[in-house]
Structure 1
Amino acid sequence: MLTHLSITNYALIAHTAIDFTNNLTIITGETGAGKSILLDALGLVLGKRVDLNTLRNPEEKCVIEAHFNITSYKLHSLFSELDLDYENDTIVRREILPSGKSRAFVNDAPTTLQNLQQLGNFLIDIHTQHQTQDLFSEKYQLNLLDVYADNGNLVKDYQQQLQSFKKYQQQLNLLKEQQSQAAKEQDYNAFLLDELTQANLKNGEQEELEGQFEVLANVEKVSGFLEQGYAVLSNEEFGITKQLYEVKSQIQKLAQISTKYENLYQRLESSFIELEDISDELQAELQQLVADPQQLELINQKLQSIYQLQKKHNVSSIDELLEIQNELSQKVAGVESIEEEINAVEKLLQKTEADLNALAQDLHAKRTSVLKALSSEIENLIKPLGMPNAQFDIQLAYSDTFLSNGKDEVNWLFSGNKGMQFGLLKKTASGGELSRIMLAVKSILAQKSKLPTIIFDEIDTGVSGDVADKMGTIMQEMGNYMQIFSITHLPQVASKGNQHFKVTKFDDDKVTTSTIKLLNTEERIYEIAQMLSGNTITDAALQHAKQLLN
């Protein structure tokens, strides 16, 4: 509930600070006195956009601060979601600087305008004559049915299940899209994979084949080089190994004379052994070297196949081709994997749909069970409000589509007079009738659920006498369950309040100012008498005022 409101430098208000109680609070004042300023100021606290023209003194900042006791509102999770510090006594403040910048605070912590708007939805419901349009909203109508039938947990379960259902639908659509795309590429990918697989590629193979090809393609040259090299090393008369053998023999003799030549001998011995080994290897290579045109052609074909694959896939090595082969293998196998995923998601979707249908049917059954009772209660509430022959026929149709709060489509049919056919509420009810119907609806909601503070802004316009008295009584009874504010011009309604404020406007030499004052008992009698008889207050009006206040 709203416990305190302070306004500084806003419109006609220089500064005011007001404390509020629970139950029904009345706000009265002449037209133009500034009652709407209070609503506009609260609107800023609830996240409304700023109009710089509302600054009383454009050189000073405007500050509007509202205190709320939210102990029973169960808003801990919302505060956590909005990253706000929760306090049972929460303070919401809005500051408007002369520069036009606006700042918002919740419990002295800066916050965004969007957060303020979300929080405001749970704090105050400002009901104007125009808000009766909510009665035409199918969502609002179903919400009233659900509150009346105590469907809160059922609706919550349904909406959670609906969220899962939509998530699985999205997953399934995405997987089928991937499957369709994969199917288009499947044949081509399979062909490319088969082509690479048939090539039987191995790491390092290309370099080895290129070396073999160069040798086989130049057999005569290679043979000549090997023969010449072997001859230089191993000729019996002039070969290097022959001559080195002679040198080694001489140095061996020196080593026998002096050990200082032993190391030199060992080095010559090692060189001799190495050259002999090279000579043997040259001889072996020469013996193995045979012209083989057939093998040369096979190697050439293999290399050309590798080169073609590299060009086709725009790479330069077998390692890269093998990597592509692995990727293609995964893509080809992935089609089967996608099919398995689709089957799994379809099973989840079917289960979720079955659960969702069961919840929707439960909602339909519970809503159907309260249609007549709700219609009767609304009729009973509005009959004393000058609508003695009003009738409601609330109809539910079960659709094939999952909607945001079930599968029900609702129509509120209304007949305002005897002999009048039922028609859609928005087409058959007048503005005055809609105001009274909305008051009845809010009264039912107040008893069935914990609504935030409600401010009725001249909802009683166009009525008087006994109807006004009955409307005041309904608001008074609503005040037993919640905090109600009523801005009114009717004495019958004003007399029902537990607390009564009067908004007054006065002029001095330079500026017009609005003030709001809490009236005591004598002041309330005088104010209601003035509402009854105008500026000339008669004894009869005073007596009547006392009777109304009782």
Structure 2
Amino acid sequence: MIKSLHIKDFALIDELDVQFQPGLNVLTGQTGAGKSIIIGALHMILGERADTDVIRKGADKAISEAFIYVGKNDYLKNLLEEQSIDYSEELILRREIRQHGSRAFINDTPVNISVLKQVGDQLVDLHGQYDHQLLLKEEHHQGVIDQFDSIEPVLESYQKEYRSMQDLQKQLRDLRKKERELKDKTELYKFQVKELETAELDPHEEEELEAEMNLLDNAEDLDQKASAITEIGNGDEVSLMDMLNTIKLNLEDMARIEPEFGTYLQEVTTARISIQETIQFAERYRDRIEFNPQRLEKLRQRQSELNRLQKKYQRSIPDLISYLNEIKSELNVAENFDVEIERIEKKIEDQAHILKEKAVDLHEEREAIGRYLSDDIVLSLKNLGIQHGQFKVEVAWRFLGKGWIDIDGQKVDCNEDGCDDVRFFISTNKGEDPKPLATIASGGEVSRVMLSLKSILAREQKLPVMIFDEIDTGISGEISEKVGRVMRGLSEMCQIVAITHQPQIASQAHKHYKVQKVEEDDRTVTKILPLSDEEHIREVASLMSGEQITESALTSARELIDRGGMRN
């Protein structure tokens, strides 16, 4: 239950604190006093969209905060622990709206608005003034049925198979599209495969070509340089090796006298060996040098061919090899399209059988819920003054002449939520057949159907809090008293916060609050006042007779309140 609500700088509200009680909490006040502003602040806490227009003039931000007792709730516990929020049986939900965005908190920990909404959906059912209109739109009827707990696992099972079917259908569409595209490219791909395979591409060939051409191109120069090295080392008159041998012999003699020459002897010995090896390598290398203009020309032609292919395809040699493998694979697919399409179509056929089973399960569960809901609503409508009411939930297959599955030989169109059209039918007069709710129900009848639905869903979903913003639209008098009694009975299962203009409903309150506008410092502000027992009587009387409260109105108010207390 909502234990307390704090609102600051929200629309006409300067600062407001209210402590709600268990049972039926009723808010009354003149039109425009700000009752709906309070509901708007609750909407904000529950993660609904909020505009910066709600920020009170002159303030930096609008704040709405609720202290809610939730008890034990495994879903919320897991959800909050995923967000690194310690779970407790009492939660503080807070929302701040600023000029440049909003912030949300749970137990003072920042959270995304989506998380705040997930938590709010588990705690509060908020029925706004315009939710009646949703009931008149048949596209929302399925959503009502799907709020029952038994639907969820069946719907999830169906949706899993539906998504699998979507994936298969996409694969088939992509394959057929590819088939059409490849038909135009097949001849080109065949030519390119032949051209690239004939080229016998090697990812390392360019480097090897460059290296070999460089040697052939510089063969004469290499031979001359190697010859010069050999001649220096092995000259007929005085060679470099002879000079080094002379230096080595002298250093050996000097080192025996002066040890310091030992270091230089070692260096000269090493240099002599290195130079001798170099000269010998140069001699051997001359024998390997190839003078082959024909081979060089052949390599240049090969290089030119590789350059042509790279320029033509705008790819490097390694990328050309990858491209060749890619188009060969594409051609292989093109040659086997019929086989691949047949394989996917067989999988789709098998998946259609699975999807049909899940769709039938979902359809039958919705029908079962529909029958249960119909019976309960008829009983509830009797308590709300519609003695001979009939209510029927029609769950019909969506036969549109197209679809993935067949039912009784007809194609059924399916979507993410199933293959059904759900419609509510009602009759409020004896002897009349039920007709679509949207076409015959009056405002007061729709209100009573909505309250019946809310009562049943509250029992099924076990939500801690239900908020009604003028659910009594279109009703008055004795019917209002019946509605009030139903709401008071409903408050035994969950906390109810209700805005009403009806004295018969206000009289049923366990706790009554008056919302009013007052002038403070040349500004209009909204206040909410918890009423004492005597003030409760006077406010109910005021709703009955207006601003001038008569003794007869007070007497009637007391009788109305006493009657409500005795019945509950």
TM range (shorter): 0.7 to 0.9
Aligned to 2:305, the other structure's residue is in SS state: helix
- Alpha carbons of structure 1 residues 77 and 542: separation in structure 2 relative to 1, 3 Å: closer
2:393 maps to: 394
- Could you say which residue in structure 1 is the equivalent of 2:126? 126
The yes-or-no answer on 1:453 pairing with 2:465 is yes
Q: Which residue of 2 aligns with 1:369?
A: 368
Instruction: Identify if the C-alpha distance between structure 1 residues 448 and 536 changes in structure 2 by more than 3 Å, giving closer, same or farther.
Output: same
| 1:9-48 superposed matches below 5 A | 9-46=9-46, 47-48=48-49
Query: Partners of 2:147 and 2:15 in 1: how far apart?
Result: 40
Does 1:311 pair with 2:326? Answer: no
1:9-64 deviations in Å (ceiling 9; x for gaps): 44554443222233322222333433223213223323442455762x73576543
CA contact (8 A) 1:363 1:406 kept: yes
Aligned to 1:197: 200
8 A contact 2:128–2:470 mirrored in 1: yes
**Alpha-carbon shift at residue 91 of structure 1 (Å):** 1.0
- Output one character per residue of 1:214-265: Cα deviation in whole Å (capped at 9) or x when no partner: 98xxxxx99xx99xx99x99xxxxxx9895599999x99xx99xx97xx99x
SS class of match (2:421): strand
- Is the partner of 2:414 in helix, strand or coil? strand
1:445 CA drift (Å) = 0.8
Q: Displacement, 1:371? A: 3.2
Per the TM alignment, residue 313 of structure 1 is displaced from its structure 2 partner at its CA by 0.8
Per the normalisation by structure 1, the TM-score is 0.75
**Aligned residue runs from structure 1 range 314-393, under 5 A:** 314=311, 321=317, 323-324=318-319, 326-332=321-327, 334-335=329-330, 354-393=353-392
Q: Quick one: distance in 2 between partners of 1:512 and 1:246?
A: 115
Q: Which shifted more, 468-477 or 186-195?
A: 186-195
Q: Of the two, which has the highest radius of gyration?
A: 1
Alignment check: 8 A CA contact 1:196 1:325 kept: no
1:458 positional shift? 1.6
Letter in 2 for 1:307: S
SS of the residue 1:372 aligns to: helix
1:464 and 2:467 aligned:
no
* Cα distance in 1, alignment partners of residues 371 and 28 from structure 2: 38
Q: CA-to-partner distance for each residue in 1:122-181, whole Å, 9 max, x for gaps?
A: 333331331112224556422433445822222223334444544565566667767876
Cα distance in 2, alignment partners of residues 543 and 242 from structure 1:
138
Deviations 1:408-457 (A, max 9, x none): 22233334445656543323323332222111111111111233522111
* Separation (CA, whole Å) in 2 of partners of 1:66 and 1:269: 93
- SS state at 1:406 partner: coil
Q: C-alpha distance in 2, partners of 1:54/1:279?
A: 95
Paired AA for residue 518 in structure 1: P
2:406 alignment counterpart: none
Offset at residue 88 of structure 1 (A): 2.7
Letter in 2 for 1:458: E
How do 1:6-405 residues align onto structure 2 when only pairs under 5 Å count? Answer: 6-46=6-46, 47-52=48-53, 55=56, 58=58, 62-73=62-73, 74-79=75-80, 86-95=87-96, 103-113=103-113, 115-136=115-136, 140-148=140-148, 150-167=150-167, 184=185, 186-197=189-200, 202=205, 204-205=208-209, 207-208=211-212, 243=236, 300-301=297-298, 303-314=300-311, 321=317, 323-324=318-319, 326-332=321-327, 334-335=329-330, 354-399=353-398, 400-405=412-417
| Amino acid in structure 2 at the alignment position of 1:331 | E
**Residue type of the alignment partner of 2:64:** I
Of 413, 419, 438, the residue aligned with 1:426 is 438
Aligned residue for 2:528, secondary structure, equals: strand
**Structure 1: distance between partners of 2:274 and 2:129:** 114
1:171·1:345 contact (CA, 8 Å) conserved in 2? yes
- Specify the SS of the correspondent of 2:134: helix
Instruction: Tell me the distance in 2 between the aligned counterparts of 1:83 and 1:276.
Output: 77
Q: Give the % identical residues.
A: 28
TM-score (norm 2): 0.72
**Are residues 149 and 455 of structure 1, via their aligned partners in 2, closer, same or farther at CA, if it must alter by over 3 Å?**
closer
Paired with 2:26 and 2:515, the residues of 1 have a C-alpha distance of 11
Which one of 530, 536, 545 corresponds to residue 550 of structure 2?
A: 536
Partner of 1:549: 565
Deviations 1:179-204 (A, max 9, x none): 87677374254224312228999562
3-state SS of 2:153 partner:
helix
Equivalent position of 1:527 in the other structure: 539
* 1:311–1:524 CA distance, 2 compared to 1 (3 A): same
The letter of the residue matching 1:70 is: V
CA contact (8 A) 1:210 1:303 kept: no
What SS does the aligned partner of 1:75 have?
A: helix
The Cα shift of 1:96 comes to 5.4
Partner amino acid, structure 2, of 1:134: L
Structure 2: which amino acid aligns with 1:197?
A: E
C-alpha separation in 2, matches of 1:298 and 1:520: 112
User: Which moved further from structure 2: 163-172 or 34-43?
Assistant: 163-172
**More displaced 10-residue stretch of structure 1: 323-332 or 197-206:** 197-206
Shift of 1:522: 3.4
2-side partners of 1:277 and 1:103: how far apart? 80
Asked whether the equivalents of residues 310 and 320 of structure 2 are also in contact (C-alpha less than 8 Å), the reply is: no
Letter in 1 for 2:89: N
Q: Superposition RMSD on alpha carbons, in Å? A: 5.1
Taking a change above 3 Å as real, the CA distance of residues 140 and 198 of structure 1, as seen in their structure-2 partners, is: closer
CA deviations over 1:278-319 (Å, ceiling 9, x no partner): 89997x899x98xxxxx976774564243122222139xxx9
SS at match of 1:67: strand
Question: What letter corresponds to residue 378 of structure 1 in structure 2?
Answer: I
Q: How many angstroms apart in 2 are the aligned matches of 1:409 and 1:416?
A: 23
